[in-house]
Amino acid sequence: MPLILPLLLAVVLFCIGVYGVLARRNVITMLMSFELMLNAVNLNLVAFDAWRVDEATGQTLAIFVITLAAAEIGLGLAIVLLLFRGHGHVDADAARDLVERP
Amino acid sequence: MTTVLFSVAGAVAVAAAVLVVVSRRIVHAALWLVVALGAVAGCFGALHAEFVALVQILVYVGAIVVLVLFALMLTKAPTNPLPELTTGRSPFAAVVAAVLALILGAGVVLAFGNEKIEPVTGGSATAIGTQVFKNWVLPFEVLSVLLLAALIGAIALSQRKKED
Amino acid sequence: MIATVWRVTGVAFSLLILLFAALLYGAAPDQVAFLDSPVGDLTIGFAVRTDDLTVLMLAVVGVIATCVQVYSLGYLHQRPASYHALVTLFTAAMVTVVVSDSLFFLLIGWEVMGACSYLLIGHYWERRDARSGAVKAFLMTRFADVGFLFGIFVLGVGAGTFRISELDPARISAGVLTTGTLLLLVGVVGKSAQVPLQTWLPDAMPGPSPVSALIHAATMVAAGVFLIARLYDVFAASETTLTVLAIVACVTMLVAALCASAAVEVKRVLAWSTVSQLAIMFSALSLGTAEGRHAALFHLVTHAAFKGLLFLCAGVLLHQVGSAALVVLRRYTRRGKLRKALQVTFLTMTVGLASLAGVPGFAGFFSKDAVIEAAWEQAHDGSVVGWVVLLSVCLTAALTAFYCVRLWLWTFFRTPALAGGIGAFEDGDAAADLDEPDTSKLRDAPWVMLAPLVLLAVASIVLGYVDGVHLNWVIGLVSTALVLLGALPAYSLWRRGADPRPVVFEREFGVDPAYHGLVVVPVRWLAKLTVAGDRDVIGAYVRAAGRTGTLASQGFRRLQTGNVHTYLTAAVIGVVALAVLAGVIGS
């Protein structure tokens, strides 16, 4: 299999994730798009690991990334819950409390 | 053979990802995320990373997406279709993502355009285990502590203040 | 306690000067130089000299300073320490001027005198007229001193030396000589209050009366006369300078005498009289002869005696009565009270005024006759300057007699005119004259103040005979006639209870308002312009610097929208841009 196939797939997934983070209003959908980005990174790691056969470093790192993603989404959703308690909604665009009025 | 499998899984992943970021019902987006993650697990399998694929399904699909669905429930996510995308900014974001894709893709193709992956037999679990417990022990332990910290943090953050 | 120290020091110092004069009397003329520093081709240094002029001036300074210091012991009770210290410093500066043989050393003394004059006129600095009078005196004399300084430069460089005893007019070119002496003349005109810089002297009268006696009658204003006498060879060699001096002197003496005739306060009359008498001295000097110089110095000495005496008497009037304005003094003379209560003062003031007017027998008569005689010698030889000087001095003698008699009569005698001549001084307010002051407590000054008066009164008579009496009978008769010519109108006006003061003379020829318009107004306008320029032009830049910072920060504030999506978008765009940049740079 040519190497660029998984790599390009990773690029596409990553950019879809970027679009989702920048364009989606609901914070939880932003987090979901962020998961897409992490998956793209994982795909990249595993593809390179398959290309270089001697060690399993890439797969190890992919496992670590998954662990980190789990920890991060746990905390992230806790923050989302706090946001919901404070504002009554989870709209990232409407939560502009830190705005600096000139 | 693996190429074909990979292509199919990849196409499914891309389609599901697009639906995640475009769908107007939030719960549908979460469900499409499940499909996307599952397809990525398939991609892992096609790349001879079976252990990673299994861990992906266990952790990502099994735990993370469930957590997302719980959060959606707790924040009273509406089930009716909503024009959720931020108007005015979504074309701009699309442009930015496209530019990024172009740059990254060009870089990747320029660097690795002619490489090929050789098919490999044998499982990868042994290799990963050896790696983790030989070369990556310290990061492994640190990750455990990190998970603990995340756990405590999540509990601390979501506690309601007790009115005395 | 410090006051006592300074009082003692003051009196002791002035007595020391007298001792010094006595020791130098009869010694051979000599010069000593010290602290020489070569500057290019020239040498600038300190030097002192002694000759008969020095001894004469030291004697004058010593006597007057002693009288003034002793008088001040009784007169002045407000801030005595600084007063006595400053008078002592002033005396030291005058001594410096008198003994100096180096032009720069002389300048040092000259300037210190000006500074002390400023500080002493402003002794009662709570009074506004004292403050402004002090500043005016200082500014006008300082302005003239610029000319003086340049005169020193020109003469010194032209002659190749700054030593007075080495200045030889034969070795200096005519142009340099004239320029240098004219510039020195500017300084003299300022310091001795001649036209056109004459207005500071009458306005210096808010100072204490002993200060007026010492500084503005006997010593500082006479320093100009002394300077020309000291540099007489140099001045006499320049015809132009002498002519200019003659013109200035003649104009001044007449202007000042007329203004004295219209002044309504004792000290102001005496101040204008000083200006006029100084002009007489200058006119004698402008004749260019040895007799002229001798006459001028003679008149300087007698003038120091009787003018110092008159100012001290005015001080007694101020001290005992509270005011020296004729309008106030008249209320005390209504029953002859002033004359009877202040007997010694009355007698000594009479002697002083007689000497000033030139009554025969008193010292002023002899010195004024010496001037007239010197002028007559010159006029006789056909000199135009001599004729001009002669006529001016004669006219001034008559005017001097007029205002002296006027002052004497109006101060001490009740006019026999109807109702005491109401309206002569009160500007038509008849009712202002009617309140009777309390004259029961009026008495003469303490002996500390009266002793100097008596001494100076004796001097005002005796000094005329010290030089040996050589009198030209014709001139004596002429001057006596002039005195009567001036005294009679004053007497008849007093009898009628009238004091006509032509507006021109009362306004002192409008010189002060002219200076105000010519100098003060433009300077103030320039000051306002500078302030506005600093505030609106330079200040605008400074404020703009601050405002730029504020504007910049306001612009940066707009980046904080509070919207997470904006921040993220900016971050991603930034990363993309950096990647592109890295790629471009790398390739």
Three-state SS across C292-360?
HHHHHHHHHHHHHHHHHHHHHHHHHHHHHHCCCEHHHHHHHHCCCHHHHHCHHHHHHHHHHHHHHHCCC
What are the structure tokens assigned to B149, written together?
């910290």
Distance CA B48, CA B121 (A): 8
Amino acid, single-letter form, for residue A50: A
B19 pLDDT more than 90: yes
Please tell me the distance in Å from B36's CA to the nearest CA on chain A: 8
C433 pLDDT more than 60: no
Task: Give ipTM to 2 decimals.
Answer: 0.89
C415 pLDDT more than 70: yes
**A36 and B CB contact within 8 Å:** yes
- Chain C residue numbers touching B105 (CB-CB < 8 A): none
- Chain A residue numbers touching B121 (CB-CB < 8 A): none
pLDDT tens sequence across B84-98: 676 677 888 899 899
Distance CA C180, CA A5 (A): 106
Give the single-character DSSP code of C509. Answer: G
**B79 and A CB contact within 8 Å:** no
What are the structure tokens assigned to A73, written together?
């989404």
The answer to whether C569 contacts B93, with C-beta atoms less than 8 Å apart, is: yes
Q: Which among A21, A92, A96 has the least Cβ separation from residue C561?
A: A96
Nearest to C278 by CA among C246, C253, C311: C253
Q: For the residues C138-142, what does the mean pLDDT come to? A: 91
Distance CA B55, CA B12 (A): 20
Supply the pLDDT for residue C422: 62
Mutual angle of helices C266-285 and C222-230, in 10-degree steps: 10
Query: What dotted CATH number matches B1-80?
Result: 1.20.120.1200
Please tell me the distance in Å from C566's CA to the nearest CA on chain A: 8
Distance CA A69, CA B34 (A): 15
The answer to whether B108 contacts A32, with C-beta atoms less than 8 Å apart, is: no
C354 pLDDT more than 90: yes
C64 pLDDT more than 90: yes
Residue C127 has φ and ψ, to the nearest 5°, of -90, 135
User: Under a CB-based contact definition with an 8 Å cutoff, are residues C265 and C328 in contact?
Assistant: no
pLDDT-derived band at C95, boundaries 50, 70, 90: very high
pLDDT, chain A, mean: 89
pLDDT-derived band at C40, boundaries 50, 70, 90: confident
C437 pLDDT more than 80: no
Distance CA C403, CA C366 (A): 19
Query: What dotted CATH number matches A26-87?
Result: 1.10.287.3510
Residue C404 has φ and ψ, to the nearest 5°, of -65, -45
Instruction: For an interface test with C, give the residue of B96, B102, B109 to mutate (most C CBs within 10 A).
Output: B96
- Chain B residue numbers touching A37 (CB-CB < 8 A): none
Amino acid, single-letter form, for residue C323: S
Distance CA A88, CA A94 (A): 11
Q: For the residues C100-124, what does the mean pLDDT come to? A: 92
Report CA Rg, chain C: 31
Nearest to C309 by CA among C362, C372, C258: C362
The overall longest dimension of chain C from CA atoms, in Å, is 121
What are the structure tokens assigned to C100, written together?
């100096």
Q: Which among A93, A99, A101 has the least Cβ separation from residue C565?
A: A93
Name the helix (H) or strand (E) containing C48: strand C42-50
How many other CB atoms are there within 10 angstroms of residue A98's CB atom?
11
Q: Which among A92, A101, A102 has the least Cβ separation from residue C564?
A: A92
More confident residue, C175 or B119: C175
Angle at C377 between CA C374 and CA C379, to 5 degrees: 110
Distance CA C80, CA C292 (A): 41
User: pLDDT above 90 covers what percent of chain C?
Assistant: 40
**B100 and C CB contact within 8 Å:** yes
More confident residue, C426 or C188: C188
Residue of chain C nearest A19, judged by CA positions: C569
pLDDT-derived band at C427, boundaries 50, 70, 90: low
B123 pLDDT more than 70: no
Q: Domain boundaries in chain B? A: 1-80, 124-164
C428 pLDDT more than 80: no
- Chain C residue numbers touching A15 (CB-CB < 8 A): none
Q: For the residues C252-280, what does the mean pLDDT come to? A: 92
Distance CA C154, CA C162 (A): 10
CA distance from start to end of chain A: 57
pLDDT-derived band at C436, boundaries 50, 70, 90: low
Cα dihedral C563, C564, C570, C575, rounded to 10, equals 180
C173 pLDDT more than 90: no
Supply the pLDDT for residue C159: 85
C-alpha of A7 from chain center? 17
What are the structure tokens assigned to C405, written together?
């008699």
pLDDT tens sequence across C237-251: 888 899 999 999 999
Please tell me the distance in Å from C546's CA to the nearest CA on chain A: 17
Please report all neighbours of B, defined by 3+ CB atom pairs within 8 A.
A, C
A71 pLDDT more than 80: yes
Distance CA C86, CA C80 (A): 10
DSSP B78-99: --S----S-TTTHHHHHHHHHH
pLDDT-derived band at A42, boundaries 50, 70, 90: very high
Q: Which among B29, B112, B154 has the least Cβ separation from residue A32?
A: B29
- Chain C residue numbers touching A100 (CB-CB < 8 A): 557-558, 560, 562
Please tell me the distance in Å from B104's CA to the nearest CA on chain A: 7
Q: A-contacting residues of B 19-48, CB under 8 Å?
A: 20-21, 26, 29-30, 33, 36-37, 40, 43-44, 46-48
Q: Domain boundaries in chain A? A: 26-87
User: pLDDT above 70 covers what percent of chain C?
Assistant: 95
- SS3 breakdown of chain B: % helix, strand, coil, rounded to 5? 75, 0, 25
Please tell me the distance in Å from B61's CA to the nearest CA on chain C: 27
User: Under a CB-based contact definition with an 8 Å cutoff, are residues C225 and C192 in contact?
Assistant: yes
pLDDT, chain C, mean: 87
Nearest to C205 by CA among C217, C194, C196: C217
Angle at A21 between CA A15 and CA A24, to 5 degrees: 120
What letters, b where the CB count within 10 A reaches 16 and e where it falls short, cover C401-414?
bbbbbbbbbbbbeb
Highest mean pLDDT among A21-25, B36-40, C496-500, C577-581 belongs to B36-40
Residue C462 has φ and ψ, to the nearest 5°, of -75, -35
pLDDT tens sequence across C288-321: 888 889 999 999 999 999 999 999 999 988 888 8
The answer to whether C576 contacts B100, with C-beta atoms less than 8 Å apart, is: yes
Supply the pLDDT for residue B57: 94
Angle at C79 between CA C77 and CA C81, to 5 degrees: 105
Supply the pLDDT for residue C431: 53
Supply the pLDDT for residue C43: 80
Supply the pLDDT for residue C380: 84
Angle at C399 between CA C481 and CA C395, to 5 degrees: 65
More confident residue, C97 or C495: C97
Please report all neighbours of C, defined by 3+ CB atom pairs within 8 A.
A, B
Supply the pLDDT for residue C106: 92
Residue of chain A nearest C564, judged by CA positions: A92
Q: For the residues B143-151, what does the mean pLDDT come to? A: 94
Q: A-contacting residues of C 543-572, CB under 8 Å?
A: 554, 557-558, 560-565, 568-569, 572
A4-13, A80-89, B15-24, C499-508: least confident range: C499-508
User: Under a CB-based contact definition with an 8 Å cutoff, are residues C276 and C367 in contact?
Assistant: no
What are the structure tokens assigned to B115, written together?
């490489």
The answer to whether B92 contacts C569, with C-beta atoms less than 8 Å apart, is: yes
pTM score of the predicted model: 0.71
Nearest to C474 by CA among C571, C565, C416, C390: C390
pLDDT tens sequence across C186-219: 999 988 888 888 889 998 888 899 998 988 777 8
Q: For the residues C108-127, what does the mean pLDDT come to? A: 92
